[in-house]
Chain A
């Protein structure tokens, strides 16, 4: 059993004809990771906005924006349904653009970033999960559409 399922689980995980739930199966792992990143980005930016806003206002605001995006995707995944799927898809795309854009920006012009954001250097400080997560999310949400 384990041999066959290792490769085919991703394909069988989205059963046909079921009411679109986005937070079960592999989606459960996504919900968890998005939840963790919501908490991490939100608490980080809250602390930084309150305690040291003057140090690097722009990166801290960007962190807060990423926290909102993460929070919205988490909520959409838990809620499920077609509308939430589309909204989450758009947000995952936005997230990917954000990671790539800010990641490039931090490398090209480090002086604009006195302090790091969650998305600095493509999320290197977070084991590159910020750049892996939206790609996984987009794949999962695309797959769920056909379910």
Chain B
């Protein structure tokens, strides 16, 4: 369950990065559709956070430590909302570039989360 979510978040984050990267290339600020995309990725991140916390509460412990895992989870959930707000107040292509950077960071965080959890094994 959590592995599938991790992969889903990583893939949608990369798609968002490509989309906002294209907007940067086109010299456009983030538009409504981009914000809907950000909302989808953010929602997935929050779902992942909730599912992971439930799993932790059930006694499953991540391979590389709970503290690191929770820190990465929070970072992953906060990534897109934070950069989204940054792009709200930067109505140029650089706002789009900011979201692109945030989405790439999120994808990297998901890879790390996969490792920390001990992905594939359970």
Contact = CB atoms under 8 A, between A and B. Distances in A.
A39 B94 contact: no
Contact of B101 (A6, A13, A32, A43): A32
Interface in B62-111: 67-68, 71, 75, 82-83, 86, 90, 92-95, 97-98, 101-102, 105, 108
A28 B98 contact: yes
Which has the most chain B C-beta neighbours within 10 Å: A1, A2, A29, A35? A29
B94 A25 contact: yes
Given A9-B27, A24-B90, A26-B94, A47 B67 contact: yes
A51 B64 CA distance: 13
B67 A51 contact: yes
Contacts of B102: 32, 36
A27 B98 CA distance: 10
**Interface residue range, chain A:** 20 to 34
A43 B71 contact: yes
Kindly state the interface size class of chain B when it binds its partner: 20 to 34
Contact of B90 (A28, A36, A40): A28
A2 B26 contact: yes
Contacts of B25: 2, 6
A78 to B, nearest CB: 11
Which residue of A1, A31, A33, A36 has the most chain B CB atoms within 10 A of its CB atom?
A36
Interface string B13-25: 0000000000001
Residue among B68, B82, B93 facing the most chain A CB atoms (10 A cut-off): B93
Which 8 A-B pairs have CB atoms at the shortest separation, nearest pair first? A5-B27, A28-B90, A32-B98, A29-B97, A28-B94, A2-B26, A25-B94, A2-B27
Interface of B: 25-27, 67-68, 71, 75, 82-83, 86, 90, 92-95, 97-98, 101-102, 105, 108
